[in-house]
């Protein structure tokens, strides 16, 4: 079988958002079916942090109320479904990028700012988000999506708070995007 030339899908052609939304919903149900838990994101880095703290300062990790929850169990905090799920997200994202012709090493940012600025702000935003998600006991996926799937009140509140907060503060950071 010979390859008949390269296949280059249009990188600007995205999936229909309604179809993507339904598929995402099915992903949530599949996650509950296969792992007995909804998907999450922020919990992954949290466990990695706990594992790093345990490696660097085991005494502190084991006595700390926060890290203790993760490091005093029978397994390493890294042996958690969220970490494997995140690994799967990376692999799946890569394959999806390849299939839609968007596989390119680049930093997506507004033409008004530099890549460096974008990365710096993304880092700050990421830290704040992880902090907020930890206080709220979950992020957009772990609390909002997974919560709403099981009709938990906390899920709806988190969703409203994240998107409401986003709308409230977007004005102040608009220069990073437009």
21 versus 88: smaller Cβ distance to another protein: 88
54 versus 85: smaller Cβ distance to another protein: 85
Least distance in Å: CB of 25 to another protein? 25
Least distance in Å: CB of 4 to another protein? 7
The answer for residues whose C-beta is within 8 angstroms of residue 22's C-beta and 6 or more apart is none
Question: Residue 115 half-sphere exposure, CB side, CA atoms within 13 Å?
Answer: 4
DSSP state of 140: I
Least distance in Å: CB of 177 to another protein? 29
DSSP state of 1: -
Q: Where does this chain bind another protein (CB under 8 A)?
A: 3-8, 79, 84, 87, 91, 94-95, 98-99, 101, 103
The backbone torsions φ and ψ at residue 152, rounded to the nearest 5 degrees and listed phi first, read -80, 135
Q: Which residues in 109-147 are b (16+ Cβ under 10 Å) and which e?
A: beeeeeeeebeeeeeeeeeebbeebbebebbbbbbbbbb
Least distance in Å: CB of 122 to another protein? 23
3 versus 153: smaller Cβ distance to another protein: 3
25 versus 97: smaller Cβ distance to another protein: 97
């Amino acid at each position: 079988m010979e390859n008949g030339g390269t296949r280059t899908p249009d990188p600007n052609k995205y999936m229909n958002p309604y179809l993507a939304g339904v598929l995402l919903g099915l992903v949530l149900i599949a996650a509950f079916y296969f792992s007995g838990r909804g998907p999450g994101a922020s919990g992954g880095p949290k466990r990695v942090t706990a594992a790093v703290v345990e490696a660097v300062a085991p005494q502190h990790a084991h006595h700390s109320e926060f890290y203790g929850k993760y490091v005093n169990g029978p397994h390493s905090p890294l042996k958690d479904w969220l970490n494997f799920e995140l690994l799967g997200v990376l692999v799946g994202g890569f394959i999806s990028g390849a299939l839609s012709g968007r596989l390119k090493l680049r930093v997506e940012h507004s033409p008004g700012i530099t890549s460096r600025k974008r990365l710096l702000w993304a880092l700050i935003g990421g830290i704040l988000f992880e902090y907020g998600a930890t206080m709220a006991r979950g992020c957009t996926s772990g609390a909002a999506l997974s919560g709403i799937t099981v009709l938990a009140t906390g899920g709806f509140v988190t969703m409203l708070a994240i998107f409401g907060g986003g709308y409230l503060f977007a004005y102040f950071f608009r220069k990073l995007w437009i």
